[in-house]
């Protein structure tokens, strides 16, 4: 049955963009609808050129990870081009990601497009503009399964972990098992390699930073620390600031989308409007809308992949604070990335609570080094905490009271002390989670909610 057409609201219609931007959005949508197989079922939903480009976007479904799997890399190639020829010519590669949700996706990897997206993101931060010559030395501290050279049962020489201008500081993916000797090696390598930039998983760098601070040692600081791969916590920022004397910028993106947001020197996250469009879908008011919501990403000008309204699975908070002191006036600006939808929990009354809200509640607990909050039942919450250089009972009481204040007086909160918390494979920490995953679609303000894919197939 064909449903009556309805006009959905578009948040993008209210955002200021560069003059050429709506045209680039139109090109990205037209190219996908016209020539990429994966969007065939979307064509009938297009209200056409009578509508504004953002109204046309709002009428389209969200693209899910399962769509990437169902159609494979070929379903997203625009213009009938041949993947096989490009692969054999070395123009592209196929890169598989496991992703935080566990399912394997194959992505077309086109290095020049990725590099351009990264360069566009670095223009949004003054420290990055000053530091990035394009050929600067970078030390990388993340799970070697995401980037680098993994080796879990032996140690590799510095040469084995060096790739051009990049040094991968760890071959081990679980910081909770790092030895003091391994972390001392990282310090010595930072001093010797003199990286201009450290790019790090925030929880990994925080672990190293706590080791540095505990030993009362100094370490050579880079010109800039870029946090990426996972969502930084207040705890990570605090630990890193104790050990390093360098500005810190959070960079947000994914293998599928390239670089999407970059933190400026004033602390806001600006959309990388030079390489992507972002549709913001506000939550309903009872779940934190209209400031809090989800994002869908459309990429520009990737000759090997048309990605339109891809659901990256993250929750963000819009910055409504007026013009940013950094001078950037265009594209979406965020106060924060609030964590992944799989990190959402619910209050006993069913109100959505983001990982960011959990972090703001417990992050200032004295002596707290690591934590993980799990919703174990409709009104039951368990916090695992690791406490270093502090009185454990004080941290425990702080966390218990903070979670009661966050979830409400009917919440049953248990706190368990642990020595350390291990990341989930392939090496990402989850600060909050629910035993029963929250249905993120049900949280949206229905006026902005995209039509379902089923609706798109409905004829």
For Zn ion, the binding residues (CB under 5 A) are 264, 266, 268, 324, 326, 328
**Closest separation between CB of residue 263 and Zn ion, Å?**
8
**Closest separation between CB of residue 264 and Zn ion, Å?**
3
**Closest separation between CB of residue 298 and Zn ion, Å?**
22
Nearer to Zn ion, 218 or 325 (CB): 325
- The CA distance from 353 to 166, in Å, is 38
Q: Find out whether 395 and 365 touch, Cβ atoms under 8 Å.
A: yes
**Closest separation between CB of residue 266 and Zn ion, Å?**
4
**Closest separation between CB of residue 324 and Zn ion, Å?**
3
Nearer to Zn ion, 173 or 328 (CB): 328
Scan for tokens 């919501």, then name that residue. Answer: 293
**Closest separation between CB of residue 217 and Zn ion, Å?**
34
269-271 and 197-200 strand pairing: unpaired
Nearer to Zn ion, 268 or 317 (CB): 268
Nearer to Zn ion, 330 or 445 (CB): 330
Give Cβ neighbours of residue 287 (< 8 Å, ≥ 6 apart). Answer: 351, 352, 443
- The CA distance from 183 to 389, in Å, is 19
**Closest separation between CB of residue 318 and Zn ion, Å?**
14
99-to-6, 104, 253, 266, 360 alpha-carbon distances in Å: 34, 7, 12, 30, 25
Structure tokens at 142: 């993340």
Nearer to Zn ion, 149 or 326 (CB): 326
Nearer to Zn ion, 266 or 380 (CB): 266
Nearer to Zn ion, 268 or 340 (CB): 268
Which residues, in sequence order, are bridge partners of residue 248?
225
Structure tokens at 193: 């390699």
């Amino acid at each position: 049955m064909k449903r009556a057409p309805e006009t959905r609201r578009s948040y993008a219609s209210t955002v200021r963009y560069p003059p050429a931007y709506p045209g680039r959005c139109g090109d990205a949508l037209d190219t996908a609808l016209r020539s990429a197989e994966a969007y065939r079922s979307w064509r009938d939903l297009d209200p056409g050129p009578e509508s504004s480009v953002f109204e046309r976007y709002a009428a389209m479904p969200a693209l899910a990870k399962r769509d990437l799997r169902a159609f494979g890399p070929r379903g997203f190639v625009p213009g009938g081009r041949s993947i096989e020829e490009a692969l054999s010519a070395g123009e592209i590669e196929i890169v598989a990601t496991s992703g935080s949700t566990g399912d394997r996706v194959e992505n077309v990897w086109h290095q020049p497009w990725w590099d351009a997206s990264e360069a566009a993101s670095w223009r949004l931060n003054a420290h990055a503009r000053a530091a990035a010559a394009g050929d600067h030395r970078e030390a990388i501290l993340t799970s070697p399964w995401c980037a680098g050279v993994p080796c879990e049962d032996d140690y590799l020489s510095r040469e084995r972990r060096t790739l051009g201008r990049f040094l991968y500081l760890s071959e081990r993916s679980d910081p909770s098992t790092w030895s003091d000797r391994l972390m001392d090696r990282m310090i010595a390598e930072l001093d010797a390699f003199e990286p201009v930039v450290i790019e790090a998983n925030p929880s990994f760098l925080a672990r190293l930073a706590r080791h540095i601070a505990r030993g009362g040692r100094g370490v050579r600081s880079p010109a800039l620390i870029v946090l990426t791969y996972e969502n930084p916590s207040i705890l990570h920022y605090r630990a890193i600031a104790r050990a390093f004397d360098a500005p810190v910028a959070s960079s947000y993106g994914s293998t599928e989308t390239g670089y999407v947001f970059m933190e400026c020197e004033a602390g806001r996250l600006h959309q990388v409007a030079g390489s992507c469009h972002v549709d913001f879908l506000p939550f309903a008011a009872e779940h934190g809308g209209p400031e809090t919501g989800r994002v869908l990403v459309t990429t520009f000008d990737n000759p090997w992949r048309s990605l339109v309204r891809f659901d990256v699975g993250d929750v963000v908070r819009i910055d409504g604070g007026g013009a940013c002191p950094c001078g950037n006036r265009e594209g979406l600006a965020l106060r924060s990335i609030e964590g992944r939808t799989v990190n959402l929990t619910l209050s006993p009354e069913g109100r959505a609570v983001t990982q960011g809200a959990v972090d703001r509640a417990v992050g200032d607990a004295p002596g707290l080094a690591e934590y993980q909050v799990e919703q174990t039942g409709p009104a039951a919450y368990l916090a695992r905490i690791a406490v270093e250089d502090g009185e454990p009972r004080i941290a425990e009481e702080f966390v218990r009271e903070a979670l009661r204040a966050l979830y409400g007086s009917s919440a049953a909160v248990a706190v368990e002390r642990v020595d350390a918390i291990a990341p989930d494979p392939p090496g990402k920490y989850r600060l909050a989670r629910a035993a029963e995953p929250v249905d993120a679609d049900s949280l949206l303000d229905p006026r902005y909610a995209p039509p379902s894919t089923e609706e798109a197939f409905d004829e």
